[in-house]
Chains A and B, each alone.
Chain A
């Protein structure tokens, strides 16, 4: 099979770019500070016993250190519990979420907080809020005809 010289060069450039991209993604996912991998929590629970299972038996904001919080949230069609949260500027928040019914999305518009909640699983991620403001938390996966009403607020003061 004959391959044109220019095509070899072209494919080689493509290959080098590919390796460079994958290395960047890989380093950021596994070796960077603060860990920027995809939210992939492996914790499981019974989706019909969420309210009796730790930590979801006590949903809400829990202070766990200087400027550090844990936010435990339950998602269901069509709402978040809790649905109004206030935290001081500069706080680091560890989100822990799950759903009691169908699949939902957990997105904070304008940030990189974005993850799926699938029944039977806990999902989690961490984010530091450096800017004051009123943030919109919304569900970004279709969860029924009231899906567009499913939102909550997070105020950073």
Chain B
């Protein structure tokens, strides 16, 4: 059992995350209905406001709150309860993030920040929108402090022992986050806020985009790594197996830090002002992420096989049948893993110059991130919620809720499959993303898109039902399910290695390599963007 104070801390993060999921998901369905021309929005709510809210609430708010709720619970579970000053820091972080979220959402709904969640200049939102975003990020710094300082004092008290895998991974995720946010914090504080207050007249657009994507790509790894934490640490226990290799798991996380930051240009491949050579350098680094990804895939299947064989499976693939398919705690993350196979392939396509030429800014890309974050990550988060919420609330996941949970997961899977397949296919013929209506006055090139848009709305409907069911089940697990103690599954190692290679926990070395790669990939192009900049842009409010 987690102690009550720390449990409450995590639960408040989950309440906020699930509220964001509900509202954001509702907006998502509206988008599919508008795009397929089945619904017209009331005049004082425009499509792009809805889309901004959807992106902010799901990609920024839902993910961040869920991730911290999960990391706190796991860190407390593996290193002991928070010292009170750390718990206090975590609460300050929570309050700051909440204030930031409320500010940003209010401004979006007031139509003062219809700039989408990427807030590309020179579209200019109210300064308080950017300040709201800054609050969210500053809040995460308090949260990061709580976890990292907990880890450091654990290590001091346990000299010579290796740190708990879960906490190590949480720290790695935060190291990635702290480095990544340098980009967006620089852009928001030095560019957007002064410019939107009118203290500076113009903004360097190309620089702001580069700083954004310095953050934007590692942001997706900030979502993905907590899902991997669940895969590496909790799934082996749920299936009755073992963690395949503790050291390789750590190495994979460290490699993700190295290869997920100096790669932002793969989002700017079609942009002027950045030379092709630097784009290619970053594409090379982007592809390097294949290595830790393959290591992760290997580790997963190895631990599945170990589990199956321990249960007496024989033959080459006999272990597959021994997996606990009817346990929602396993089913959800497993389907998430399966989604990552096409999702990873799609990622390689997007990062390759010539293929990206076909899909850039089409709804293919939206399909891509709905199967990465919207399926792989979120299905894993669903799976976590089914045991973590009752664990924190001193209740149990009953068989009945487990069964309903399987329906919820299947609904999500089918909905996401339909919606994202339609997005991928119509994107291939050019259907643009971020566009309210795509009929273009009946132009023949757009003729095929309408039926895909309808398919997206069918998928979207299933998804929203799945969210309703999920929220209902979570309320049940938090307040009504029978009292008891639900396990926080923490896997054991297959071959116990007490001694870790020292290098793996030598953060200075890894951070230094990360910074070196960043300097190699970014120094020259950023200097060019600053020194050789064209006259800047004034702000525009085209809404």
Residues of A in contact with B (beta carbons under 8 Å apart): 1-4, 6-7, 10-11, 14-15, 17-18, 21-22, 24-26, 28-30, 36-48, 77, 101-103, 105, 107-110, 112, 114-123, 133-136, 138-148, 151, 153
Q: Does B414 contact A (CB under 8 A)?
A: no
- Contact of B205 with A118 in the complex, beta carbons under 8 Å: yes
0/1 interface trace, chain B 257-276, chain A, CB 8 Å (1 if under): 00000000000111111111
- Contact of B433 with A140 in the complex, beta carbons under 8 Å: yes
On whether A140 and B361 interact (CB within 8 A), knowing A38-B279, A40-B274, A145-B48, the answer reads yes
Shortest C-beta distance, B479 to chain A (Å), equals 41
Question: Which of chain B's residues have a CB closer than 8 A to the CB of A114?
Answer: 270, 357-358, 360-361
* A112 to B270 alpha-carbon distance, docked (Å): 11
- Contact of A105 with B361 in the complex, beta carbons under 8 Å: yes
Shortest C-beta distance, B263 to chain A (Å), equals 13
0/1 interface trace, chain B 422-448, chain A, CB 8 Å (1 if under): 000000011111111110100111100
- Contact of A141 with B434 in the complex, beta carbons under 8 Å: yes
Contact of B434 among A26, A42, A134, A142 (CB under 8 A): A142
Question: Which of chain B's residues have a CB closer than 8 A to the CB of A11?
Answer: 291, 294-295, 298
Q: Does B476 contact A (CB under 8 A)?
A: no
Q: Does B534 contact A (CB under 8 A)?
A: yes
Question: Which of chain A's residues have a CB closer than 8 A to the CB of B287?
Answer: 18, 21-22
Question: Which of chain A's residues have a CB closer than 8 A to the CB of B116?
Answer: 142
Q: List 9 A-B contacts (CB under 8 A).
A: A2-B497, A14-B290, A21-B348, A22-B283, A102-B537, A107-B361, A145-B46, A151-B443, A153-B443
Q: Does B526 contact A (CB under 8 A)?
A: no
Which of B11-19, B62-70, B147-155, B244-252 lies on the face that meets chain A? Answer: B244-252
Contact of A29 among B270, B280, B298 (CB under 8 A): B280
B 270-317 contacts with A by CB, 8 A = 270-276, 279-280, 283-284, 287-288, 290-291, 294-295, 298, 302
Taking CB as reference atom, which chain A residue is nearest B118? A142
Question: Which of chain B's residues have a CB closer than 8 A to the CB of A48?
Answer: 535, 538
Contact of A44 among B276, B288, B446, B534 (CB under 8 A): B534
On whether A102 and B540 interact (CB within 8 A), knowing A118-B206, A118-B209, A120-B535, the answer reads yes
* A29 to B120 alpha-carbon distance, docked (Å): 27
- Contact of B279 with A121 in the complex, beta carbons under 8 Å: no
Question: Which of chain B's residues have a CB closer than 8 A to the CB of A46?
Answer: 534-535
Question: Which of chain B's residues have a CB closer than 8 A to the CB of A41?
Answer: 272-273
- Contact of B272 with A45 in the complex, beta carbons under 8 Å: no
* A120 to B138 alpha-carbon distance, docked (Å): 32
Nearest 8 A/B pairs, CB to CB: A144-B542, A109-B430, A120-B534, A121-B272, A136-B445, A44-B534, A140-B361, A140-B432
Shortest C-beta distance, A112 to chain B (Å), equals 4
Question: Which of chain A's residues have a CB closer than 8 A to the CB of B537?
Answer: 47, 101-102, 119-120
Contact of B272 among A4, A36, A118 (CB under 8 A): A118
On whether A143 and B542 interact (CB within 8 A), knowing A38-B356, A105-B432, the answer reads yes
* A107 to B357 alpha-carbon distance, docked (Å): 9
* A38 to B283 alpha-carbon distance, docked (Å): 12
- Contact of A112 with B357 in the complex, beta carbons under 8 Å: yes
On whether A44 and B283 interact (CB within 8 A), knowing A10-B298, A18-B290, the answer reads no
Contact of A101 among B122, B362, B432 (CB under 8 A): B122
Q: Does B157 contact A (CB under 8 A)?
A: no
Question: Which of chain A's residues have a CB closer than 8 A to the CB of B122?
Answer: 101-103, 119
* A78 to B402 alpha-carbon distance, docked (Å): 51
* A142 to B543 alpha-carbon distance, docked (Å): 11
Question: Which of chain A's residues have a CB closer than 8 A to the CB of B295?
Answer: 7, 11
Contact of B205 among A29, A120, A134 (CB under 8 A): A120
Contact of A28 among B209, B354, B362 (CB under 8 A): B354
Question: Which of chain B's residues have a CB closer than 8 A to the CB of A14?
Answer: 290-291, 294
Question: Which of chain B's residues have a CB closer than 8 A to the CB of A15?
Answer: 291
Contact of A2 among B48, B438, B495, B538 (CB under 8 A): B495
Q: Does B78 contact A (CB under 8 A)?
A: no
- Contact of B273 with A121 in the complex, beta carbons under 8 Å: yes
Q: Does B353 contact A (CB under 8 A)?
A: yes
Contact of A134 among B276, B352, B443 (CB under 8 A): B443
Contact of A140 among B48, B271, B362, B495 (CB under 8 A): B362
- Contact of A40 with B276 in the complex, beta carbons under 8 Å: yes
- Contact of B273 with A25 in the complex, beta carbons under 8 Å: no
* A105 to B532 alpha-carbon distance, docked (Å): 23
* A18 to B284 alpha-carbon distance, docked (Å): 9
- Contact of B352 with A25 in the complex, beta carbons under 8 Å: yes
Shortest C-beta distance, B50 to chain A (Å), equals 12
Kindly name the residue among A1, A14, A44, A117 whose own CB sees the greatest number of chain B CB atoms within 10 A. A1
Question: Which of chain B's residues have a CB closer than 8 A to the CB of A36?
Answer: 353-354, 357
Question: Which of chain B's residues have a CB closer than 8 A to the CB of A45?
Answer: 534
Question: Which of chain A's residues have a CB closer than 8 A to the CB of B288?
Answer: 18
Question: Which of chain A's residues have a CB closer than 8 A to the CB of B352?
Answer: 21, 24-25
0/1 interface trace, chain B 378-392, chain A, CB 8 Å (1 if under): 000000000000000
- Contact of A142 with B48 in the complex, beta carbons under 8 Å: yes
Contact of A145 among B270, B274, B354, B543 (CB under 8 A): B543
* A128 to B495 alpha-carbon distance, docked (Å): 60
Shortest C-beta distance, A53 to chain B (Å), equals 11
Q: Does B123 contact A (CB under 8 A)?
A: yes
